[in-house]
Amino acid sequence: MYKVFVNDKPLFLTNQVEKETDFQMFLLESVDIEQLIKKMFNNKVHKAFLYYPDEKEILKKLKEKIPVAKAGGGLVYNTNGEVLFIFRNGKWDLPKGGIEKGEEIEDTAIREVEEETGVSGLKIIQKLQKTYHVFKRNGVYKLKITHWFEMKTNYKGGLIGQKNEGIEKVAWLKPEEIKDALTNSYENIKLLFEAVEVEK
């Protein structure tokens, strides 16, 4: 099962028929995806399931209905075990950004972390899970698939938020501060940390 966030509301892709309780169920084949997304953005639908019988094909089917934007991002640790966060649009987030033509996704992730935070000397430790959310650009809804990587750095220099990306501040957060930051973050970011916690 995949979890796609639309305005921080969950849209589940499933091959199981669920009995509707606090959500609505739609057939992926026949759903008007734009109408459904609009309803979720406008708070008319708070939780939805898209059903398709073949789990292996389910994401491909969704991609046929909505343009995809691919992004890379980093969950970056320093030598003190602190994690690199950015603050924009009133929420704590992790540095990430769109892939450029001809770029490998690992290179995208490293480049975006450097550009958004000023942190260099990044080394990828492992690939983390992908996250999915829908956003609107120039009047078009797109599915953003973000490839996340755990990174480490010995960087000790200053932190510089990328102003033209609307980043108000960049900070190294201690483990106990992360919990607090996640209460004012996005569902995908919370999901990422839950997955990392499970692995530890």
The enclosing domain of 105 has a CATH number of 3.90.79.10
Mean pLDDT of 47-51: 96
Residue 199 has pLDDT above 70, yes or no: no
Helix (H) or strand (E) holding 148: strand 140-152
Residues 42 and 83 in one domain: no
Residues 60 and 133 in one domain: no
Residues 124 and 141 in one domain: yes
Point out the least confidently predicted range of 17-31, 43-57, 95-109.
17-31
pLDDT value for 198: 64
Confidence of residue 120 (pLDDT cuts 50, 70, 90): very high
Residue in this structure with the two tokens 């909505």, named with its chain if needed:
66
Residues 154 and 101 in one domain: yes
pLDDT value for 177: 96
Last residue of a domain, one of 34, 65, 96: 65
**Cβ(115)–Cβ(97) under 8 Å?**
yes
pLDDT value for 1: 87
Residues 194 and 99 in one domain: yes
pLDDT value for 62: 97
Residues 133 and 184 in one domain: yes
Give residues with Cβ within 8 angstroms of 91, minimum separation 6. 184, 185, 186
pLDDT value for 196: 80
Rounded to the nearest 10 degrees, how much is the dihedral formed by the CA atoms of 60, 35, 100, 159? -120
**Cβ(24)–Cβ(49) under 8 Å?**
yes
Mean pLDDT of the chain: 95
CA distances from 111 to 7, 80, 118, 174 (A): 26, 22, 10, 24
**Cβ(151)–Cβ(123) under 8 Å?**
yes
Residue in this structure with the two tokens 């970056």, named with its chain if needed:
76
Mean pLDDT of 53-81: 96
Query: Rounded distance, CA 8 to CA 40, Å?
Result: 9
Residues 146 and 50 in one domain: no
pLDDT value for 17: 86
Residue 174 has pLDDT above 90, yes or no: yes
If one counts the domains in the chain, the total is 2
Residue 54 has pLDDT above 90, yes or no: yes
Query: Rounded distance, CA 152 to CA 30, Å?
Result: 45
Last residue of a domain, one of 11, 37, 65: 65
Domain that holds residue 110: 72-199
Residues 57 and 85 in one domain: no
pLDDT value for 15: 95
Query: Rounded distance, CA 75 to CA 152, Å?
Result: 8
Last residue of a domain, one of 23, 43, 65: 65
